[in-house]
Amino acid sequence: MIRLAIAGAAVCLMAALVGIGGAAAPDILPVAGRNGVKLGEPAPDFQLPDLQGHLVTLSDLRGKVVLLNFWATWCGPCRVEMPAMEQLYRTLSRKDFEILAVSIDTQGVAVTRPFQQEYHLTFPILHDADYRVGLMYGARSLPMTFLVDRQGVVRHQIFGARDWGASEAQQLVQMLMKS
């Protein structure tokens, strides 16, 4: 009888925990269940706030090559990669190229604005504090970068930090800009 009562209490507790979040719970499951994006498929659209609180939408950048980078201020390799990303950003035309650096820092602007100022970053920094977009893209390690072509199709996925100042990396971006 005691075992039955414990089992019943456990089921009730699980039901209560699953119910936390009310109507929002079904929204989480499809995103968390995704395996991420596949090369050659359209990049999932999203809208995230930047450092000023303005919403940035990926699909608004169609016609440009987009370097979509998932990172965090506490990520050592991300810190190493950022100066080279800034160098690349300053080298290429805004008409043809954009960087969206999506921070997963839960503290948001409180940590990303000082980071931006310390590293003199001029490309847009967006906030994905609940990691919904990161999960949608399958970014399970940091940094992770996706290169999206002018038509909004994911062409490359790069795991880990990259030297964006290296000729191979620049050629990769420039090749997409020519297509």
How do residues 51-93 score in pLDDT, each as one tens digit?
A: 999 999 999 999 999 999 999 999 999 999 999 999 999 999 9
> pLDDT tier at 179 (50, 70, 90 boundaries)?
confident
- What burial class does residue 14 get, using C-beta atoms within 10 Å of its C-beta: 0-12 exposed, 13-18 middle, 19+ buried? exposed
Please give the model's pTM, rounded to 2 decimal places. 0.81
Q: Are residues 110 and 170 in the same domain?
A: yes
User: Which DSSP string corresponds to 94-157?
Assistant: TTTEEEEEEE--TTTHHHHHHHHHHHT--S-EEE-TT-HHHHHHT--SSSEEEEE-TTSBEEEE
Question: What's the pLDDT score for residue 3?
Answer: 38
List C-alpha distances in Å: 77 to 18, 57, 96, 109, 178. Answer: 36, 26, 27, 20, 29
Q: Does 15 score more than 60 pLDDT? A: no
Q: Are residues 24 and 61 in the same domain?
A: no
Q: Are residues 45 and 114 in the same domain?
A: yes
Q: Are residues 162 and 76 in the same domain?
A: yes
Q: Are residues 2 and 67 in the same domain?
A: no
**Which residue range(s) make up the domain with 29?**
1-33
Q: What is the CATH number of the domain that holds 140?
A: 3.40.30.10
The one-letter amino acid at 17: L
Give the burial string for 134-147 (b: 16+ CB within 10 Å, else e): bbbbbbeebbbbbb
Cβ neighbours around 38 below 10 Å, total: 10
Q: Are residues 148 and 107 in the same domain?
A: yes
pLDDT digits (tens, 9 = 90+) for 86-140: 999 999 999 999 999 999 999 999 999 999 999 999 999 999 999 999 999 999 8
Q: Are residues 25 and 12 in the same domain?
A: yes
Q: Are residues 1 and 83 in the same domain?
A: no
Q: Are residues 86 and 119 in the same domain?
A: yes
Q: Look at the block and give the residue holding tokens 């990259």.
A: 162
The span from the CA of 4 to the CA of 19, in Å, is 22
Q: Look at the block and give the residue holding tokens 């609940």.
A: 130
Identify the weakest region by mean pLDDT among 1-10, 35-44, 133-142, 144-153: 1-10
Q: Are residues 87 and 114 in the same domain?
A: yes
Q: Are residues 51 and 7 in the same domain?
A: no
Q: Are residues 43 and 17 in the same domain?
A: no
Q: How far is Cα of residue 59 from the mean position of the Cα atoms in its chain?
A: 14
Name the β-bridge partners of 47: 57
Q: Based on the structure, what is the number of domains in the chain? A: 2
